[in-house]
Copies of this chain bind each other. A is one copy, B any other.
Amino acid sequence: MCKRALQYPQVETPPPQPFLISLKNTLNEILFADDPFRKIRNESKTSKKIELGLRHMFPILEWARGYNLEYLKSDVISGITIASLAIPQGISYAQLANLPPILGLYSSFVPPMVYAIMGSSRDLAVGTVAVASLLTAAMLGKEVNAVENPKLYLHLAFTATFFAGLMQTCLGLLRLGFLVEILSHAAIIGFMAGAATVVCLQQLKGLLGLSHFTHSTDVISVLRSIFSQSHMWRWESGLLGCCFLFFLLTTKYISKKRPKLFWISAMAPLVSVIFGSLFVYFLHAQFHGIQIIGELKKGINPPSITHLAFTSPYVTLALKTGIITGVLALAEGIAVGRSFAMYKNYNIDGNKEMIAFGMMNILGSFSSCYLTTGPFSRSAVNYNAGCKTAVSNVVMAVAVAVTLLFLTPLFFYTPLVVLSSIIIAAMLGLVDYEAAMHLWRLDKFDFFVCLSAFFGVVFGTIEIGLILSVGISVLRLLLFVGRPKICVMGNIQNTEIYRNIEQYPQATAVSGLIILHIDGPIYFANSSYLRDRIGRWIDEEEEKLRKSEENSLQYIILDLSAVGNIDTSGISMLEEVNKILGRRDLKLVIANPGAEVMKKLSKSKFIESIGKDWMHLTVAEAVSACDYMLHTAKPDSQEKISGVPEFNNV
């Protein structure tokens, strides 16, 4: 029937695979995409296998052998640098979480040690983060008042940390790390900016020396709370805060302009704390409206395993808090680990990192720590300070332990307003308006996701912002599948190439036929749409041709190159389209179906119903086959029309 087509290679169906093998391959692809056990599997000896397995579990075994004095020197310097940042930041963030300030120091001791053993990043510095701290306060605080019931609140915080760690470990062990990817980059930018705004507003409490404050996090409640107490504002506190804020922002600016001076901004918080404390000590400012930290208990982390409140009526609250803060902490930690790994050209296994984070939080919850992860600011300082391995985390932990054992009395006079300034200075860096502008330029939808996360956090709650941005992001994926693009293709002159005529205006349509390119999978969610849309393209084309009195339409070529998959609804749709076209005296021609599509088409009767000769490897071949038919049939147009139904009845 169609001689030309025989000169070309045929469309092939991939060799059939037994169901179980293809299921196994699919699951492997979903869960073990990066094939982490490749090395272990390739090894034949069992002892070697165990050794490789242990090294896989505990990366310290991998790098400890090559460790040398040179590395140690770098790690000690960077470790001490990050400790000087960790101590004031830890105290500040613990305050943000409505937890005793000492918890911030505890959390910089045990978790970094665990990470040093199990983590695979060389640059990540472990610690608490502002957003998760605020989220803990907001979520727990809704049901348990931290001031009235500090013990229960503290125990719930440990329990939430335990659940967060458990969830992180489980995600890692079950290889479900990809679930964290549901937080798109755009959502994180908006979410972080929103959270930073909210955190900064919360700091106005400390900055203005207020003692009562709203538990809500949204802008409106916070502003109302602040302005309704304007008679309570303390100018001394505000002035001191602004001075330190100015100092901190100046050092940040200097370090940003000259990356070599990174240590200026890294040391600034500690310097602020020292100056602030001296200031209060010598001027007795605590009696003039400057609130101070007060006594911090000496000694390293007390055990807290018996404080986990599994039997409390609030255990579901702790679970919910743990899961949400845990996912956020994972997203930040993994993103940070990955970015620095890319700079230094080594690999981070997301699922392994999750296990490390999870273990760090589980063991942390046993030893009076709250949620930790790999904060960006601290890791960036670590990287700039030239750390070589996770030993810098150990050095930081030791420095914090020394502080806990001997130096806590020094923080007695530290003014709270300095801590607020430290938090505000850190948070302002998270409002990344340039990234948001970049999103707007590149991808309006991503910008919309970012905005909705931001406004959700700022005007609603942190959870609303999170749910909104994730919901909209997922909607976008569904919309991609639900409304795939269909475009008309034309021939690019002097070539055998066919391309979208919207993208290549020089591409010209071929007379007598229309080439449609479907840009997405054919699934139940889009099959009615595709059927309607193909129908409309043909209607419009026929109308155009009728007006211009050109050759009438004879062939519809469907280019399936970009159709990744098809389901049974999709196959029914193609069969339906074929029947509808048959009734309109049009012939359906298929070009370049992919492996998955061919597998399914060949199992259905579709190929027989359109005829194997009408499946072509490329659009060019499909066009030339149609052309051949058009021209050989042209002399007697009556025969041509009566000839069409014949193909349909094959």
Contact = CB atoms under 8 A, between A and B. Distances in A.
A13 B503 contact: yes
Contact of A567 (B35, B184, B618): B184
Interface string A454-484: 0000000000000000000110111111111
A178 B528 contact: yes
A8 B494 CA distance: 10
A172 interface: no
A604 interface: yes
A495 B35 CA distance: 34
Contact of A350 (B499, B528, B583): B528
Contacts of A474: 478
A318 interface: no
A580 B345 contact: yes
Nearest to A34: B532
A483 B446 CA distance: 20
A445 interface: yes
A487 B595 CA distance: 10
A225 interface: no
Most-contacted residue by chain B among A446, A477, A596, A600 (CB, 10 A): A477
A259 to B, nearest CB: 19
B33 A568 contact: no
Q: Is the interface of A mostly helix, strand, loop or mixed?
A: helix
B14 A446 contact: no
B181 A524 contact: yes
A15 B23 CA distance: 44
A576 B342 contact: yes
A182 interface: yes
A477 B487 CA distance: 22
Count the copies: 2
A615 to B, nearest CB: 13
A603 B583 CA distance: 45
A439 B564 contact: no
Interface stretch (A46-54, A263-271, A281-289, A515-523): A515-523
Contacts of A580: 342, 345
Nearest to A477: B481
A561 interface: yes
A339 to B, nearest CB: 9
A533 B31 CA distance: 12
A442 B566 CA distance: 10
A19 interface: yes
Contacts of A487: 595
A617 B497 contact: yes
A538 to B, nearest CB: 12
Given A503-B598, A520-B521, A600-B443, A497 B9 contact: yes
A594 interface: yes
A53 B645 CA distance: 36
A36 to B, nearest CB: 10
List 7 tightest A-B contacts by C-beta distance, closest first.
Answer: A184-B524, A562-B562, A503-B595, A519-B564, A34-B532, A185-B569, A14-B503
Given A185-B568, A342-B580, 19 more contacts: A9-B506, A15-B505, A19-B444, A30-B483, A34-B532, A34-B533, A178-B528, A181-B482, A187-B524, A338-B528, A342-B579, A442-B603, A480-B564, A497-B618, A502-B595, A519-B562, A519-B594, A561-B562, A562-B564
27 contacts: A9-B497, A12-B505, A14-B502, A15-B505, A33-B536, A181-B482, A181-B524, A181-B525, A181-B527, A183-B524, A184-B525, A186-B568, A342-B576, A342-B579, A442-B603, A476-B567, A478-B478, A480-B521, A480-B523, A480-B565, A484-B564, A485-B596, A497-B618, A503-B595, A519-B564, A561-B562, A562-B563
